[in-house]
Amino acid sequence: AQTVTQSQPEMSVQEAETVTLSCTYDTSENNYYLFWYKQPPSRQMILVIRQEAYKQQNATENRFSVNFQKAAKSFSLKISDSQLGDTAMYFCAFMSGTSYGKLTFGQGTILTVHP
């Protein structure tokens, strides 16, 4: 079974600075996908960024980028130029290439951006 671990329950950052959220996972599979989801207070989870395991290039989406280290089974999220609207719970998630879309989540990291 796959597991996903986020070791930082809470993080904080000043507006306009950069922050990195950590995620590690454990799997014996070679074909899988990794995701970061954001859940603002009282709102639904939305996808921030995704990474296919077969791609060596790290995914980027505007201010969000990942550092995908397949051998180390690490998948960290970097948020550059942090904004107040980035304040949210962030979930790292794993999806097997053989599943029917099932996501395995980490515990989540609460990120607070301070003005």
Task: Name the site residues for other proteins (rule: CB under 8 A).
Answer: 33, 35, 37, 42-47, 50-52, 91, 95, 97, 99-108
Q: Whose Cβ is closer to other proteins: residue 86's or residue 94's?
A: 94
Rg of the chain over Cα atoms, rounded to whole angstroms, equals: 14
Three-state DSSP class for 86? helix
Q: Give the whole-angstrom CA distance, residue 108 versus residue 21.
A: 10
CB 98 within 8 A of CB 2: no
Q: Whose Cβ is closer to other proteins: residue 32's or residue 82's?
A: 32
Q: Give the tokens for residue 34.
A: 């990794």
Q: Whose Cβ is closer to other proteins: residue 13's or residue 103's?
A: 103
CB of 29 to other proteins, least distance (A): 13
Beta bridge partners of 75: 68
